[in-house]
Amino acid sequence: MLFIKISKKRGTKLLYFHNFTIFVNAKVRKKKKMATLEIEGRVFNVDGDGFLTDPTIWNREVAELFAKSDGIKELNDKHWAVIKIIRDNFEEHGNAPMIRKICQEAGLKLREIYELFPLGPARGACKVAGLPKPDGCV
């Protein structure tokens, strides 16, 4: 008589045949549930930090909704200038620009960027601009 028991241990399936163990080369993966963020009745797929997972769905309305969720009541011309710089750099290079470049191109000081985006240029401005979480963002 053959006794078979299947158990999951460390992500690998183990088969027990009476007195020996056979390791099956198959990983057991749990399906990750995608996080969502609901703002004013609109639902967005986001990562664990609230950044859009699909930057292609971004538009001005999405930016305004994300800004409101971050505590920014209204986006003015300075906000839009920073967002445009970030979006243009992302579309051209595939990543967010360095803060120094944002300051130079927008003609703003770092302090002013923090006044516009209280969560900072990476966490705040990039999130409103619809980018994925920047690499250096903690």
Residues marked active site are found at 137
Secondary structure of residue 82 in the 3-state scheme: helix
Distance CA 5, CA 97 (A): 54
CA distances 134 to 6, 15, 69, 123, 124, Å, are 42, 43, 19, 8, 11
Look at residues 120, 136, 134, 130 and name the one whose alpha carbon lies nearest to residue 64: 130
Helix (H) or strand (E) holding 114, with range, is helix 110-116
Question: Which residues is 42 bridged to in the sheet?
Answer: 39
